[in-house]
Amino acid sequence: MSFSEIFLGILEGLDVTLTVTAFGLLFAIPFALVAGVAQQFLTGWKRAPVTAIIEFWRSTPILVLMFMFYYTLPVAGVYLNATTVAAMTLGLHIGAYGSQSVRAALQALDRGQVEAGLAIGLTRWQVLLTIELPQMAVAMLPTFVNQFIQLVKGTALVALITMTDMTARAKELSQLTFDPPAIYGALMLAYFLLLYPATVLGRHLERVVGRRSGRLNGGRAGDV
Amino acid sequence: MTFDIDFLQRILATIFKAMPLTLLLAFLSCIGASLVGFALETLRRTGRWQGYLLRFVIDALRSTPILVQIYFLYFVLPYYGVVLPGPVIGVLAMSLYYASYLAEVFKAGIDSVPRGQTEAAMAVGLSPLDVTLRVVAPQMLRNIAAPMGNYFVSILKSTPYLAVIGVAEMMGTTLEIASDTFRYAEPMILLGIVFLVLCSIIAWLVRRLEARLMANTRR
Amino acid sequence: MDQTAISINKLNKWYGDFHVLKDIDLQVATGEQVVICGPSGSGKSTLIRCVNRLEAYQDGHIEVMGQEETNLPRLRRQVGMVFQQFNLFPHLTVLRNCTLAMTRALRMDQAEAEETALRMLERVRIREQALKFPTQLSGGQQQRVAIARALCMSPKAMLFDEPTSALDPEMIKEVLDVMADLAQDGMTMICVTHEMGFARQVADRIVFMDAGQVVEVAPPDSFFANPQNLRTRTFLEQIL
Ligand SMILES: Nc1ncnc2c1ncn2[C@@H]1O[C@H](COP(=O)(O)OP(=O)(O)OP(=O)(O)O)[C@@H](O)[C@H]1O
Ligand SMILES: [Mg+2]
């Protein structure tokens, strides 16, 4: 097999990679917003369960989470297809990291903005939705791009729960032809082409928006 | 799922037996990633072309999944006659991958030390290496302790990937029990709890260290 | 006394298109004290930072003790520098601030370095603070430590960039006194300052710079009593 044949063979897994990414976003974005806002605004004991949920999704390795839900849900009588399990675990894992950025962004906002909003007669909710979140959106843009990259990279794990994404295609191809440099080189190239533009964009946005504080990005790493 | 205390104990025993190796791999990777990351960032600053080249290397490392990088090293190196044991490949892969993130942390850290510090250090005639190691590095450490700690936790959380290349860390050994017994639920839940506890402990240690560094700051 | 310590010849420097230093010529004899003054942005800092090559220059030559040293750490050990913002190392004690370069760059052993450092701290009258950290000291004390730190390298000349500008008024004198002592002891000095009392008392010559050029060079008496250039006069009227 020539390198381009191998590369095209790997791209056959692109649709799975993209599908899991798209569904993952559907979990990640709402979870990050809701959990981050809740953790910021709840006080006392009401806050503890939110923190616990965030910590569970954030501090457990994503591969463990994925296996855990993939194998445990059927035992509990819940049957979800692999795509859903993958999208959910990846999405909530990345979303938990995102929630910390949401919270940090809320904290970084100028207090005066809230007060001005309340002073013109808006409710606290209205202030959050019409004043704080829109302003945060800009500040969070770099973080969003970086989390998105983490999510896409995370989809490589679905190969381990029987789905045929690009990474799984590489394994299949190595059954057909013994050429590790070409196969894994092509796999690296595929992810690189997919994500390098986003990496450069994220860096650019970081420069433009300006790093509010080192801590804001403290939780950016993830483990994928 | 029936509650089977013997089975749970067996799983826990297996996990704990693999814990030292897991922690060791994570620890070595933390050191490797810090060294490589610091080198990347320091070299990146030495000139325009080094700057472009190393920026590209860093971004490329970040643009591919660590799992794929592990596979790459594991399958491609032997093809060229370089046969390394799984744990070594694992430490190598994690060091390289996380170096690309730590380089960024060091960048922020170096930038956080006022320019005058470097100038004063150069003005008393210190070599560039001493300027970096004796004056800049100690001062940036307290600024970067928290983000560095976060990445160290991430490194620990990445050790399960090494199971795919047959390293007997906690995930690998747990999977072994699971496939022997065809029961995955309990092992995975227990493994999750163990990681949760470990990561929380490390995160707590990092916060304490950071607090101590801050307290020592006389700025 | 006649040997030239620092010799600046036809020095030109640009920041991009901006011509900061224009054909600067200045010779400083061994043991001489030169004060540089001039309006903000005239290039004073840039000029003295070129001497120890914290700034690169595009054209011209600067010789220190008769040669143009290309090994920068070695050059910088010959020329001490004191900054406006002190720039002490906050993570090190006063003593270690002083010994760092001696042990690292000169490979002196610790005991010898400490002895030298304490002697220099004595000279700037702050020996008793040796074990404190910089931020536990007042601005004036910090600046004197910075002077001691530079002296520890036994420099052939010292550069001062507005050493008292960041200080509260009551601390200015203690720093100027130390500098006057140094001058008394025959240290070669180039000092950017607007302390005209100090200039009058200590300087052998005063250099007036404006817009990147050396406009006038004269001994203090004639500089203040009889400035030749219109720009010098305007400047002196403003600050005196
Ligand atoms: N890194 C730089 N890039 C571009 N321009 C610079 C840079 N550093 C200084 N300049 C410009 O060079 C000119 C001279 O600066 P310099 O700091 O030498 O002035 P100065 O005489 O020391 O003024 P001051 O009394 O304010 O300290 C100024 O106009 C300044 O804006
Ligand atoms: Mg200046």
pLDDT single digits (tens) A34-44: 999 999 888 88
Residue A112 has pLDDT above 60, yes or no: yes
Residues B60, A180: C-beta atoms closer than 8 Å:
no
| Confidence label for A211 from pLDDT (cuts 50, 70 and 90) | low
Residue B218 has pLDDT above 60, yes or no: no
Residue B15 has pLDDT above 50, yes or no: yes
Quick one: pLDDT at residue B3? 64
Percentage above 90 pLDDT, chain A: 55
**Which of B124, B139, B144 is best to mutate for the C interface (most C CBs within 10 A)?**
B124
Distance, CA of C19 to CA of C133 (rounded, Å) = 41
CB-based contact, B129 to chain C, within 8 Å: no
Quick one: pLDDT at residue A104? 86
| Confidence label for B44 from pLDDT (cuts 50, 70 and 90) | very high
Instruction: Burial-class residue A12 by CB neighbours within 10 Å (0-12, 13-18, 19+).
Output: middle
User: Pick from B16, B10, B59: which is nearest to B177 by CA?
Assistant: B10
C-alpha atoms less than 13 angstroms from C-alpha of A129 in its C-beta half-sphere: 5
Quick: pLDDT tens for A151-207: 999 999 999 998 999 999 999 999 999 999 999 999 999 999 999 999 999 988 888
Quick: pLDDT tens for C167-214: 999 999 999 999 999 999 999 999 999 999 999 999 999 999 999 999
Q: Which CATH code of 3.30.420.40, 3.10.180.10, 3.40.50.300, 3.40.50.10490 fits the domain covering C4-239?
A: 3.40.50.300
| Confidence label for A134 from pLDDT (cuts 50, 70 and 90) | confident
In this complex, whether C and B touch, counting 3 or more CB pairs under 8 angstroms, is yes
Report the residue from A65, A191, A203 with minimal CB separation from B65: A191
Residue C24 has pLDDT above 80, yes or no: yes
Task: Tell me the domain boundaries of chain C.
Answer: 4-239
- Of A223 and A183, the structure prediction assigns the larger pLDDT to A183
Going B17 to B23 to B28 to B32, the CA torsion angle's sign is positive
Residue B126 has pLDDT above 50, yes or no: yes
Quick one: pLDDT at residue A215? 40
Distance, CA of C213 to CA of C12 (rounded, Å) = 10
| Domains identified in chain A, total number | 1
CA of B85 to the centre of ligand 1 (A): 57
Q: Which domains does chain B have, with CATH numbers?
A: 5-217 (1.10.3720.10)
Instruction: Report the alpha-carbon angle B76-B78-B82, nearest 5.
Output: 115
Ligand 1: residue whose CA is nearest its atom 24: C40
User: Pick from C188, C190, C103, C84: which is nearest to C146 by CA?
Assistant: C84
Q: What is the CATH number of the domain that holds A25?
A: 1.10.3720.10
Quick one: pLDDT at residue B141? 86
Nearest-atom index, ligand 1, CA of C39: 25
Backbone φ and ψ for B199, nearest 5 degrees, come out as -65, -40
- Expressed as residue numbers, the domain containing A98 is 3-223
Quick one: pLDDT at residue B217? 55
| Structure tokens given for B82 | 């370089």
> Does the C-beta of C44 come closer than 6 Å to ligand 1?
yes
